């Protein structure tokens, strides 16, 4: 039973690995990152005499310099996000169009993904577009495709950005004061204590600076998610083809989907042949082990039943033999009694004539 349990556990592990491998093999990833971002320029420097200096230049926003020479940005901090779903009859043409428009608007294709076979492919794109060109790019794409879904959302992070900037300025001043105290420290304990606090402040400054840079990036470069679905006949959501046309399209798409599903299943099996082979071998081994165990158990039961029947037959034979022996003994005793009775009778008859003779 322990061997059988171990084999079943191995089969379950291989089955999960094959399922993961098949799903991963059915998808193709294409990651692309732009080499430059012309509209956003981040700088982060560390100087031993005056601590951290950070400058951020964002297109469309004014810079204001504070009393300590630091650079701050004025205006609202708005993060815009778009979502577009389109259908197309020619995936390659739509893919080329999206890439061309991203380049023409000064954006970058952060990530792209495509799966499926020709005629029924599905792709998704994560696009970063300068905020000033967000609306133009968004409506340019939606006007060039058959759109099934579109949405725009905005997030105001001005308050969060202001709070973080205030905390950053406070930490920088605290850092400068700690440096002054470190120069004046005389004992080792004071030096160690101040250095520990400096390390904490450095970590806090790094963390806040990274968050501010991330917010600046999202504000300067809006994110648009584009989904492309390749179909035989691309139909926009706004159109109403009627009940008959919709039923026809549904039947056609259902047939195409079924064929595509079978094709993808066959491709997944072909790609994961080694995993499937391992799974089949494990299943066969498990089946053989189970069958062998069942057969051994059945043979053991049959052997036990045969021994039981033989024992019963032996006991029955011994009982019959004892009964036969008893009957033989009883028959011998009966014959002995009959013989004794016959001898006694003959003896009585022999004595009777002697008694009848006259006395001399």
Query: Quick one: three-class SS letters along 197-263?
Result: HHHHHHHHHHHHHHHHHHHHHHHHEEEEEEEEEECCCCCCCCCCCCHHHHHHHHHHHHHHHHHHHHH
Q: What pLDDT is recorded for position 249? A: 63
40-47 vs 71-73, strand pairing mode: unpaired
β-sheet with 122-130: strand ranges across = 27-30, 108-115, 122-130, 221-230, 78-88, 146-156
- Report the pLDDT value the prediction gives residue 128, as an integer from 0 to 100: 95
CA distance 68 to 81: 35
Distance between CA 160 and CA 165 in Å, rounded? 9
- Name the one residue in this structure whose structure tokens are 């349990």: 5
Confidence (pLDDT) at 339: 84
- In the three-class reduction of DSSP (H, G, I as helix; E, B as strand; rest coil), residue 47 is classed as strand
pLDDT score recorded for residue 206: 95
- Name the 3-class secondary structure at 292: helix
CB atoms within 10 A of CB 14: 18
With left for phi above 0 and alpha for psi between -120 and 50, is residue 75 left, alpha or beta? left
Structure tokens at 87: 């259908």
pTM of the model: 0.46
CA triplet 323, 327, 329: central angle to 5 degrees? 115
Domain ranges for the chain: 1-27+272-346, 31-239
Name residue, tokens 């072909």. 270
Residues in the chain: 360
Residues of the chain with pLDDT under 50: 18-74, 238, 360
Residue corresponding to tokens 């029955």: 316
pLDDT in the model for residue 96? 93
Quote the pLDDT of residue 106.
93
Strands 40-47 and 122-130: unpaired
User: What end-to-end distance do the CA atoms of the chain give, in Å?
Assistant: 108
């Amino acid at each position: 039973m322990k061997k059988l349990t171990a084999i079943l556990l191995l089969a379950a592990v291989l089955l999960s690995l094959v399922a993961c491998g098949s799903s991963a093999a059915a998808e193709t990833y294409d990651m692309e990152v732009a080499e430059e971002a012309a509209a956003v320029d981040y700088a982060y420097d560390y100087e031993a005499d005056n601590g951290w200096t950070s400058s951020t230049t964002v297109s469309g926003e004014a810079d204001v310099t504070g009393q300590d020479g630091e650079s701050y940005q004025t205006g609202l901090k708005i993060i815009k996000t778009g979502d577009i779903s389109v259908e197309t009859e020619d995936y390659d043409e739509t893919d080329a169009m999206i890439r061309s428009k991203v380049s023409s608007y000064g954006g970058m294709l952060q990530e792209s993904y495509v799966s499926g076979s020709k005629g029924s492919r599905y792709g998704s794109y994560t696009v970063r577009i300068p905020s000033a060109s967000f609306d133009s790019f968004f409506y340019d794409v939606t006007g060039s495709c058959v759109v099934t879904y579109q949405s725009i959302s905005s997030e105001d992070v001005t308050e969060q950005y202001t709070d973080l900037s205030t905390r950053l300025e406070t930490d920088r001043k605290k850092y400068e004061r700690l440096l002054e105290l470190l120069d004046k420290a005389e004992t080792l304990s004071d030096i160690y204590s101040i250095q520990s606090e400096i390390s904490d402040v450095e970590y806090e400054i790094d963390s806040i600076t990274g968050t501010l840079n991330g917010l600046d990036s999202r504000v300067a470069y809006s994110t648009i998610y584009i989904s492309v679905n390749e179909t035989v006949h691309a139909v926009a959501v706004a159109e109403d083809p009627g009940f008959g046309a919709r039923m026809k399209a549904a039947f056609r798409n259902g047939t195409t989907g079924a064929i595509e599903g079978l094709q993808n299943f066959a491709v997944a099996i072909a790609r994961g042949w080694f995993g499937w082979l391992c799974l089949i071998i494990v299943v066969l081994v498990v089946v053989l082990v189970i069958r062998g165990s069942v057969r051994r158990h059945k043979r053991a039961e049959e052997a036990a039943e045969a021994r039981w029947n033989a024992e019963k037959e032996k006991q029955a034979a011994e009982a019959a033999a004892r009964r036969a022996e008893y009957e033989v003994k009883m028959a011998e005793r009966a014959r002995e009694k009959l013989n004794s009775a016959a001898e006694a009778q003959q003896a009585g008859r022999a004595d009777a004539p002697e008694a009848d003779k006259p006395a001399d």
